[in-house]
Amino acid sequence: MIFVAIILIGLLLAYSNGANDNFKGVATLLGSRTTSYRGALLWAAATTALGSVAAVVFARQLLVAFSGKGLVPPTVVADPVFSGAVALAAALTVLAATRLGFPISTTHALIGGMVGAGVVLAPGGVSATKLSSGFILPLLMSPLIAVGLAALLYPPLRFARRRFGITKETCVCIGEEVVGVVPGAVSPGQAVNALQLQSLAVLDKAKCQVHYRGGFMGISAGPALDVAHYLTAGAVSFARGLNDTPKIAALLLVGQVVAPGAAIAGVAVFMAAGGVISARRVAQTMSHRVTDMNAGQGFTANLVTAVLVIVASRFGLPVSTTHVSCGSLFGIGAVTQQAHWGTIGRIALAWLITLPVAIVLGAACAALLAAV
C-alpha cells in the first residue's frame, strides 16, 4: 500500500510540475504574439513529451542524483517514507506557487524536500558537501550564466540584423482587424497617436505586434524568424522534459516496484496534463510580466535556455529550467531596458523562499508518514 501511495504522490508532483513549468519554454511565443495561448500550449506539450522520451536514454544520471543517493545515507534512500515525503513536500510547494502565478523551480522544491526529510529520518546524516557542490552550486550559477549569455548574445544579433538592412515595423490591431502599420518598434500609445486614432471608444483596445521587414539571400526575415523562434521554443520545452522528468521519476523507483521506463512514461503523461489544465497563471507571468519582447528577443532567450539546459542534462547537473529560462529573459530585458523589475523582484523572492518552505514541508511530511 505504501508503494501505491508513493506512486500517486509522485504523479501529483508531476502534475504540479507541468502546471508550473510546461509553459516556460513557449512563453516567448505568447509574449511576442507569435502565436496564441492554445497554439503555444500544444507546442509545449508535444515537445516536452519528446524530451521526456529522450530522458530514458540521455538523462539517467539525474535518476540517480534525485534518488537522494550521496545526499542521505543508503538506508534512508531505500526507505519509502523518504520518497513519499520528498514527493509530497515538493508537490505542495509547487502547487502553492502555481496557484499564486509564480514560476518557481521544481528542482529547488525537490532538494528542499530531500533535505527536510533527511534531517528527520537521519539526523546529522545529510551530506553538506554533496548538497553544496552537487546541488546548490549548479542552481546558483545557472541563472547567472543565463543572464550573462543572453545579455552578451542579443546585441551582436541586433547589430547583424541592422547591418543587413532588416528593419522593424509595428502593426496596430483592434480586435482582429489591422488598422495601420507604423515604422519601427514603438509603444501601443505611440502607435495609436501616429495613426491618429485618438477617437477610439473607451472599450476599444489597440494591440501592437512588431514584425521584421527585409530579408537576407532571398529569405524573408519575418517568416524565417518565426520558424526559428518556434524551433528554439520547442528546444527549451524538449530540454525541460529531458531535465525534469527523470528528477520526478526517481522518486517512483523506490522498492523497484516500477521500472524506470514506466516511471518516466507516467511522469510524462501527468506533466502534460498539468500543463494543459493548470498552466495559465504562470503563463501570464512568464509571457507578459517579466519583460516586453518581440520575436527576435524571444528567439535569443530560448536559444540560451535550450543550450544550457540540454548540456546540463547530458552531464547530470541538476540545474533548474525555471531559473535558466527566467535568467535569459532577465538578460534580454536588461539589454532592451524593457524589464519589469517589480515582477522580477517578486519572482526572485519566490525563489529565495522555495528552498526553506520545501525543507519545512519535507520534515513535516516525513514525520507524519513515519508516524503513520
Cα–Cα distance, 121 to 130 (Å, whole number): 18
Name the more confident of 130 and 199: 130
Cα–Cα distance, 311 to 302 (Å, whole number): 14
Q: 343 and 262: one domain?
A: yes
3-class secondary-structure state, position 282: helix
Q: 141 and 191: one domain?
A: no
Last residue of a domain, one of 178, 213, 248: 213
b/e per residue 166-194 (b: at least 16 CB within 10 A): bebbbbbebeeeebbebeebbeeeebbeb
Q: 10 and 123: one domain?
A: yes
Q: 10 and 128: one domain?
A: yes
Query: What mean pLDDT, rounded, does the chain reach?
Result: 82
Which of these, 332, 288, 328, 320, lies nearest to 27 by C-alpha position? 288
The grid coordinates listed for 175 are 480586435
3-class secondary-structure state, position 279: coil
Q: What pLDDT score was predicted for residue 89?
A: 94
- Residue indicated by cell numbers 517514507: 81
The residue range of the domain holding 194 is 167-213
Confidence of residue 64 (pLDDT cuts 50, 70, 90): low
Q: 180 and 285: one domain?
A: no
Contact 14, 55 (CB under 8 A): no
Confidence of residue 164 (pLDDT cuts 50, 70, 90): confident
Q: What pLDDT score was predicted for residue 130?
A: 78
Instruction: Classify residue 356: in a domain, yes or no.
Output: yes
Does the pLDDT at position 201 exceed 60?
Answer: no
DSSP string, 68-110: TBTTB-HHHHT-HHHHHHHHHHHHHHHHHHHHHT----HHHHH
pLDDT tens sequence across 236-257: 899 888 888 888 888 787 767 7
Which of these, 217, 216, 210, 215, lies nearest to 299 by C-alpha position? 210
Contact 322, 282 (CB under 8 A): no
pLDDT tens sequence across 319-352: 788 888 888 988 998 888 888 888 888 888 888 8
Distances (CA, A) of 223 to 212, 214, 297: 9, 11, 15
Q: What pLDDT score was predicted for residue 118?
A: 92
Tell me how many domains the chain contains: 2
Does the pLDDT at position 43 exceed 90?
Answer: yes
Cα–Cα distance, 30 to 329 (Å, whole number): 14
Confidence of residue 167 (pLDDT cuts 50, 70, 90): confident
Q: 152 and 289: one domain?
A: yes
Q: 332 and 291: one domain?
A: yes
Arithmetic mean of pLDDT, 265-282? 89
Question: Which DSSP category does 251 fall into?
Answer: G
Q: What pLDDT score was predicted for residue 232?
A: 92
Q: End-to-end CA distance of the chain: give it in Å, rounded.
A: 12
Q: 321 and 270: one domain?
A: yes
Instruction: Classify residue 271: in a domain, yes or no.
Output: yes
Q: What pLDDT score was predicted for residue 199?
A: 47
3-class secondary-structure state, position 239: helix
Does the pLDDT at position 197 exceed 60?
Answer: no
**What's the pTM?**
0.77
Q: What pLDDT score was predicted for residue 168?
A: 67
Instruction: Classify residue 274: in a domain, yes or no.
Output: yes
Arithmetic mean of pLDDT, 26-41? 88
Which of these, 49, 55, 17, 135, lies nearest to 310 by C-alpha position? 55
Instruction: Classify residue 232: in a domain, yes or no.
Output: no
Residues linked to residue 216 through DSSP beta bridges, in sequence order? 219
